[in-house]
Structure 1
Amino acid sequence: MTKFTGTGVALITPFNADLSIDFDALERLVEYNIANGTDYLVISGTTGESVTVTPEEKKELIAFIAKINNGRLPLVLGIGGNNTANVINEIKSTDFSAIDGILSVSPYYSKPTQEGIYQHFKAISAVTPIPIILYNVPGRTSSNMSPETTLRLAKDCDNIVAVKEAGNNVHQYLELLRTKPNDFLVLSGDDDLALGVALAGGSGVISVIGQALPKEFSEMIRLGIAGKAKEAYDIHFKLMPITGLIFSENNPSGIKAVLSALEISNLHVRLPLVEATDNLKARIKSELKTLGKS
């Protein structure tokens, strides 16, 4: 599944001051990423504030991004949740004609056993007509999908082709890379660990900071996949401060502050999230200046 290698970006959902979707900003963001080396786009993930986007708005986002993209990059759509039946119903009612894969988060809040996680994804796999990227993010779901469960799904379900691993756990990454099938992709969901994962044999990243600095971040990942550690780490060290800053309060408020400073989008988020503090905005602007971005 080479279309999911390299740098995918988890797009924000830009909002106007009245918290309606800012489609002009979204077009700027998509075009900016296409022009600067991003390999694929992820719609309606956590960074896209998917939990506060209505089903109708989600359909509008898909249609709009698909139109702007016009087949230039692969598109991945977030469809997941902790009600398996609802996830299945959404999949059955979704038009996948412009979508190349789905990103499906491990069930949150309910804290299922490993068997429950396995059965959840097996049921989703049975009704999904396109490739599936599993998404393990224990910090948000309150449960960890073990490497054994991930690889059991990879073996048993032909359309489960990758995992976005976001546990910030180096050992778990290495265990997945050590034991995975040759054609199964391990993607970093941790921007700070993405280069190390690529150098260890991973296939890339689904990134947050990448959408703001696509040229630099995607080049770093390409170098990492190619095993060019020194050149890749030269970029990594430059990007470390800004990468840390965007997650210092909450996501996506941090990345929206970066995109606002770059005049691509604005700061607005929907409750219960709040905008980045003045202190964080000032630190982000200072770091962007250091990077030659302002």
Structure 2
Amino acid sequence: MTKFIGTGVALITPFKKDLSIDFEALKRLVEYNIDNGTEYLVISGTTGESVTVTADEKKELIKFISQVNKGRLPLVLGIGGNNTMSVINEIKTTDLSEIDALLSVSPYYSKPTQEGIYQHFKAIAQISPKPIILYNVPGRTSSNMLPETTIRLAKDFENIIAVKEAGNNVHQYLELLRTKPDDFLVISGDDDLALGIALAGGSGVISVIGQALPKEFSEMIRLGIAGKAKEAYEIHFDLMPMTRLIFSENNPAGIKAVLEALKISESCVRLPLVEATDKLKIEIKKALKDLGKS
């Protein structure tokens, strides 16, 4: 699935001061990414505050982003959870006509065994009309989908095409790259490790910072995939301070502060998240200035 090689961005859901969705800001964000080299867009992931977006709002987001995108970039939609039957029902009842793949998180909170994780994704794969990107993020789910489970799923189901690995665990990335089928994609979910994984044979990244700095970040990943380490690391080193800053309080408060400084959207988030502190906003503005973005 070459359309998912390179840089995908986990879009924020912009909010107005009253915490309603800011569709004008969302349009600016989508156009900004299309114009600056992002390869695909991810709707309703963690960074999109999916847990505090209602089911009706999610449908609005899918429709609106699809209309703005007009088929220019592939679209990935987050549908996941720890109730397998609910995930299946959402897939069956969602209009997926403009969606190219689903991003489905490993079940959280319940802490299933590896067999439970396998059976969860088996049930989803058997009914999904779209390719599936598995999403392993142990820091949020409290459960690590081990490489052997991921590879077992990749071998058993043709429509499971990739994994977004976000455990910040280099050894686990390398084990996935060592044992994966040839056509299975290993996508980084860790902005700080994305270049190293691309150089090691990964297929790219689903990025947070990429949506604010799409030109630089997507070029870095393209260079990494091409094996041009020296040129890629020059960009990586420039972006390191900002990458660190956006995760220093919480995600997506950090990236929303960056997008506010770039005059794309407000920095508002929904509880239980809170906005980036004034201290962080000042540091972010300085980092943008250092990047020549102010």
TM-score bucket of the superposed structures, by smaller chain? over 0.9
Matched to 2:210, the amino acid is G
Q: Distance in 1 between matches of 2:117 and 2:89?
A: 18
Matched to 2:3, the amino acid is K
Match of 2:244 in 1: 244
Match of 1:33 in 2: 33
| Unaligned 5+ runs, structure 2 | none
Deviations 1:91-117 (CA, angstroms, capped at 9, x unpaired): 000111100000000000000000000
Say yes or no: does 1:160 pair with 2:160.
Answer: yes
| Count, aligned residues | 294
Match of 1:132 in 2: 132
Q: Distance in 2 between matches of 1:136 and 1:249?
A: 21
Q: Distance in 2 between matches of 1:164 and 1:178?
A: 16
Deviations 1:123-168 (CA, angstroms, capped at 9, x unpaired): 0001100100000000000010000000000001110000000000
Matched to 1:258, the amino acid is V
Q: Distance in 1 between matches of 2:228 and 2:90?
A: 42
Q: Distance in 1 between matches of 2:17 and 2:193?
A: 34
Superposition TM-score, scaled by structure 2 size: 1.00
| Unaligned 5+ runs, structure 1 | none
Match of 1:286 in 2: 286
Match of 2:255 in 1: 255
Match of 1:55 in 2: 55
Matched to 1:117, the amino acid is I
Query: Residue 186 of structure 2 aligns to a residue in which SS?
Result: strand
Superposition TM-score, scaled by structure 1 size: 1.00
Match of 1:68 in 2: 68
CA RMSD of aligned residues (A): 0.3
Q: Distance in 2 between matches of 1:60 and 1:73?
A: 19
Q: Distance in 2 between matches of 1:49 and 1:221?
A: 25
1:1-294 equivalences in 2 (<5 Å): 1-294=1-294
Q: Distance in 2 between matches of 1:195 and 1:180?
A: 19
Q: Distance in 1 between matches of 2:62 and 2:96?
A: 10
Query: Residue 65 of structure 1 aligns to a residue in which SS?
Result: helix
Shift of residue 61 of structure 1? 0.1
Deviations 1:28-49 (CA, angstroms, capped at 9, x unpaired): 0000000000000000000000
Q: Distance in 2 between matches of 1:12 and 1:84?
A: 25
Q: Distance in 2 between matches of 1:232 and 1:276?
A: 29
Query: Residue 125 of structure 2 aligns to a residue in which SS?
Result: helix
Structure 1 runs, 4 residues or longer, greater than 6 Å off: none
Matched to 1:229, the amino acid is A
Deviations 1:14-64 (CA, angstroms, capped at 9, x unpaired): 001111100000000000000000000000000000000000000000000
Q: Distance in 2 between matches of 1:137 and 1:207?
A: 14
Shift of residue 241 of structure 1? 0.3
Q: Distance in 1 between matches of 2:11 and 2:135?
A: 16
Query: Residue 167 of structure 2 aligns to a residue in which SS?
Result: coil
Q: Distance in 2 between matches of 1:191 and 1:267?
A: 20
Matched to 1:219, the amino acid is E
Matched to 1:119, the amino acid is Q
